Amino acid sequence: MPEATPTAASASTASSPAADLPRPEYPRPQFVRPDWLNLNGRWQFEIDRGDSGLERGLLDKELSGEIVVPFCPESELSGIGDVDFLHAVWYRRTIHVPSEWAGRKVLAHFQAVDYDTTVWANGVEVARHRGGWTPFTADLGQVAGQDVTLVVRARDPKGESMPRGKQSDRYGNYSCLYTRTTGIWQTVWLEPVPESHLRRPRVTPDVGGGAFHVEVPLAGSRRGLTVKATLSDGSGEVASATARADLDFAVRLTLSVPEDRRRLWSTDDPFLYDLAFELVDAEGTVVDSAQSYAGLRSVTIDGKAILLNGERVFQRLVLDQGYYPDGILTAPSDEALVRDIELSIAAGFNGARLHQKVFEERFLYHADRLGYLCWGEFGDWGCNIGKDGDNQQPGATYVTQWLEAVERDYSHPSIIGWCPLNETWQRLHDRVTVLDDVTRGMFLATKAADQSRPVLDTSGYAHRVRESDVYDSHNYEQDPEKFAAAMAGLAEGTPYTNTHAGHPESVPYAGQPYFCSEFGGVWWNPDARPDEDSWGYGERPRTLEEFFTRFEGLVAALLDDPNMFGYCYTQLTDVYQEQNGVYRFNRGEKFDLTRIRAAQTRTAAIEKPAS
């Protein structure tokens, strides 16, 4: 696998050492070009509480404050720490574009900005994007050697229906809703590309055929261009393929892996092949090139089991919400992303539901490297317009933003399933509702975008798609015996399903693979003060031994079920007032990990050979 993470200091055009930059690592590790410029660091900044900045001329003025990008203004790491509602915020920075980039146009990439963003370059609008989870790009044109002033306005209005995930709709945190994120919260960077250039490939592993199928879209295609893809391992080239690039919108290539060079990606051996792409003109000159990687693995369904490479692997997942005390949604460092995966594995988990957040792509890169299974999920909460979940109206923007996330993450081998929605319900009057339409639309759109992974229509509560690949439930019963009894119906084809007063029941279970995708959440904070806002599910254990008895009993009920393909325990870390994590919010230890791990890592019933 290539070193797919060059820092800004290693790029030939970097203007400052990596040590001076927050989050200096390469932000798009599965499609790497050598030349780039990291724009993290200090930007001019101003809060626009009335969203009147455009009328007041902020586009053309120096801004009154300063912020450290890529951290949101609500966070400590930004240098601001303002946790009130920020209806609009403005950023301004003048960049000198390296003269070495002459002859190429310059792209400004924004990995994530929350929520409704407009970008101007030297006073001219160059990009608009709606959605807080996914990247977008502004084409600055051929500006090598010039000074370019970037101005960014991000609007995040209170009360608007938008997919905000777990961001609080009140001033303070409460229940399972937490401090908001506004504006830039992932890396901003520049990249030069030729007029004709590669766009991000889609890589589909084919274990049965011993191959990778690659689609390479192009920008600015012209006659005479060809695309070459080369697959390598530690011993050298494994396979290569070349195709004309001027006949289709995307070049399609197949890289066949000889049997003696096939090595599957798995949790035990997360092997990754190097993958190189070249765009070559009619004279044989390389016009553009990029480095990537790929994992050869399959995800299939066998009855009630989900197979990895044809083998039953019980999915011991943990709910990971990706919050940090000092960065909120943004990890303080790349090492912090790695550490979260390592902490999870140390506790006996082999993967995670990436819950109510589209995690930054660096996390998935490390999951790929470490053999960590991930369910990709959308931060869909925030569609409530009425009271108590009534009149939920997610619309086209949900489908649009979700498909951007699927497209970004399609080629990561660590992602083994998709879940676009979480805990959806709506009052029903014997008719199909907007939520039904959106749920089905997001399911069908995901299946159309990706035929290589299972899709769960919604996690918990009202399943509305009969042909969903997977069925699940959330069950926070704290008594292990009652929990086991509630889950026992799966053997007779009548598994536990969620109900909610006044809301519709799910479509009937149809024999799909089934898992309890949220359980546990055992409340434990031995240092909590009597007046502290602290909570977890059920009654707080009185002793540490009582916690372990509860944890071990709940886990055993699912591990011992021969029809259960996995589970997801709530949760990896405490998050603000929700103090039911395996670790503290600062990632400090709460429990004897040897005992936590032992409870989970014995062979699950579904993994045992049939007698």
Tell me what the mean pLDDT of segment 314-326 comes to.
98
Rounded to whole angstroms, how far apart are CA atoms 533 and 531?
A: 7
Q: What is the pLDDT of residue 426?
A: 56
Inter-residue contact 66 to 44 (CB < 8 Å): yes
Lowest mean pLDDT among 140-144, 370-374, 522-526: 522-526
**Lookup result for tokens 């393909």:** 565
Q: What is the pLDDT of residue 610?
A: 72
CA angle 15, 359, 383 (to 5 degrees): 125
Q: Which of 469, 462, 514 is nearest to 491 (CA)?
A: 514
Q: How do beta strands 37-38 and 351-354 pair?
A: unpaired
Please compute, for residue 504, the number of CA atoms within 13 A of its CA located in the half-sphere on the CB side. Answer: 19
Domain ranges of the chain: 8-192, 208-294, 299-607
pLDDT band at 593 (very low <50, low <70, confident <90, very high): very high
pLDDT band at 26 (very low <50, low <70, confident <90, very high): very high
Tell me phi and psi for residue 105, to 5 degrees.
-85, 160
Q: What is the pLDDT of residues 163-172, one digit of tens each?
A: 999 999 999 9
pLDDT > 90? residue 153: yes
Full DSSP string of 135-179: -EEEEEES-TTSEEEEEEEEE--TT-----TTB-SSSS-BTTBB-
Q: What is the pLDDT of residue 97?
A: 98
**DSSP state, residue 531:** T
Instruction: Name every residue whose Cβ is closer than 8 Å to that of residue 304 and which is 6 or more positions away in sequence.
Output: 511, 512, 513, 514, 563, 564, 565, 606
Q: How do beta strands 422-424 and 415-419 pair?
A: unpaired
Q: What is the pLDDT of residue 16?
A: 38
CA angle 382, 568, 514 (to 5 degrees): 95
Q: What is the pLDDT of residues 83-107, one digit of tens each?
A: 999 999 999 999 999 999 999 999 9
Prior bond of 70 cis (ω within 30°): yes
Q: What is the pLDDT of residue 428?
A: 46
Q: What is the pLDDT of residue 4?
A: 46
Rounded to whole angstroms, how far apart are CA atoms 519 and 557?
A: 11
pLDDT > 90? residue 386: no
Q: Which of 341, 342, 348, 351 is nearest to 377 (CA)?
A: 351
Q: Which of 523, 548, 547 is nearest to 534 (CA)?
A: 523
Rounded to whole angstroms, how far apart are CA atoms 413 and 293?
A: 10
Tell me what the mean pLDDT of segment 578-583 comes to.
97
Rounded to whole angstroms, how far apart are CA atoms 309 and 373?
A: 13
Structure tokens belonging to residue 23: 């989050």
pLDDT band at 611 (very low <50, low <70, confident <90, very high): low
**Identity at 158, one-letter amino acid code:** K
Q: What is the pLDDT of residue 504?
A: 61
Tell me what the mean pLDDT of segment 538-555 comes to.
96
Rounded to whole angstroms, how far apart are CA atoms 405 and 378?
A: 8
Higher pLDDT, 585 or 531: 585
Q: What is the pLDDT of residues 268-300, one digit of tens each?
A: 999 999 999 999 999 999 999 999 999 999 999
Tell me what the mean pLDDT of segment 156-160 comes to.
87
Q: Packing angle between helix 396-409 and helix 361-370, nearest 10 degrees?
A: 40
| Equal fold, 8-192 vs 208-294 | no
Q: What is the pLDDT of residue 7?
A: 37
Top-tier CATH class for 208-294: mainly beta
Q: What is the pLDDT of residue 432?
A: 56
Tell me what the mean pLDDT of segment 139-149 comes to.
98
Classified as helix, coil or strand, 304 is coil
Classified as helix, coil or strand, 16 is coil
Q: How do beta strands 197-198 and 211-219 pair?
A: antiparallel
Rounded to whole angstroms, how far apart are CA atoms 442 and 440?
A: 6
Inter-residue contact 225 to 207 (CB < 8 Å): no
Rounded to whole angstroms, how far apart are CA atoms 456 and 453?
A: 10
Q: What is the pLDDT of residue 6?
A: 42
Q: What is the pLDDT of residues 189-211, one digit of tens each?
A: 999 999 999 999 999 999 999 99
Higher pLDDT, 387 or 576: 576
Rounded to whole angstroms, how far apart are CA atoms 171 and 173?
A: 7
> Among 3.30.420.480, 3.20.20.80, 2.160.20.10, 1.10.8.50, what is the CATH number of 299-607?
3.20.20.80
Q: What is the pLDDT of residues 497-533, one digit of tens each?
A: 988 765 567 889 999 999 999 999 999 988 877 777 8
Lowest mean pLDDT among 48-52, 134-138, 394-398, 455-459: 394-398
Classified as helix, coil or strand, 273 is strand
Higher pLDDT, 120 or 388: 120
pLDDT band at 11 (very low <50, low <70, confident <90, very high): very low
Structure tokens belonging to residue 24: 């200096």
| CATH 2.60.120.590 describes domain 8-192 | no
- Taking the CB of residue 585, how many other CB atoms lie within 10 A of it? 17
Inter-residue contact 570 to 477 (CB < 8 Å): no
pLDDT > 90? residue 5: no
pLDDT > 50? residue 116: yes
Tell me what the mean pLDDT of segment 151-155 comes to.
98
Q: Give the pTM.
A: 0.94
Tell me what the mean pLDDT of segment 152-174 comes to.
93
Tell me what the mean pLDDT of segment 238-265 comes to.
96
Rounded to whole angstroms, how far apart are CA atoms 302 and 213?
A: 24
Inter-residue contact 216 to 277 (CB < 8 Å): yes
Instruction: Give the chain's mean pLDDT.
Output: 92
Q: Which residues pair with 236 in a beta bridge?
A: 233
